[in-house]
Amino acid sequence: MIKVIMFDIGGVLFDENLSVQYENFAKKINVDPELFTKTKNKYSGIFKTGHISVDKLMKKLSKELNVNKDELFSKHIEMYRRKTLHKDMFSLVIKLKQNYKLAILSNTNKLHTKINNEYQDLFDHFDRIFLSWEMKVAKPDVRAYRYVLKKLKIKPNECVFIDDKEENITSANSIGINGIVFKDYNLLVKELEKLNVKF
């Protein structure tokens, strides 16, 4: 029996394409997009697992990309705010809340969390929020899923997890969680119906 339905944030609850956003961001700060991605990716793992502070990251990126730190910080926030809440998903969350506990499991960082907190109307509907930078472990590492299951006090087959990245769902499925790769709202509804989820 399903007890908890868990969602990723970016690409599921919000319509966003970070790869495109970062490419445009790199152009705005006059840095080659390929160089920016390569430099950013050097630190993304330790940033999303909370092993480097926002300030230290900005200092490193500023030095390696030869960009003013304050400009880097302000334009990054401006870039990340350019996302829209998926209205159908918001409605779905409200419906599911009537019958299930709801949770979030997201690979994110302290900076993005501050911006996401501006959408409190959405996050108030969730019973638990699990963030990689607070847990010190990120998807698709199975330790992230095991941590969440332990905190929620549920078995893997009592949880549905919705994420837009296939590798995250493959990992969740490997320990018995009912994973769904999010492609669009209508397909998600069909997959939830297959699991006999009540709306």
- Range name among 80-84, 97-101, 156-160, 167-171 with the lowest pLDDT average: 80-84
Starting at the edge strand found earlier in the chain, the sheet holding 159-163 runs 128-131, 101-106, 4-7, 159-163, 178-181
pLDDT at residue 178 greater than cutoff 80: yes
In 10 A of CB 49, how many CB atoms? Answer: 19
Tens digits of residue pLDDT in 85-109:
999 999 999 999 999 999 999 999 9
CATH T-level assignment (fold) for domain 4-16+84-194? Rossmann fold (3.40.50)
Tens digits of residue pLDDT in 179-194:
999 999 999 999 999 9
How is the chain split into domains, by residue range? 4-16+84-194, 18-80
pTM: 0.92
Which residues, including other chains, have CB under 8 Å from residue 66's CB and lie 6 or more apart? none
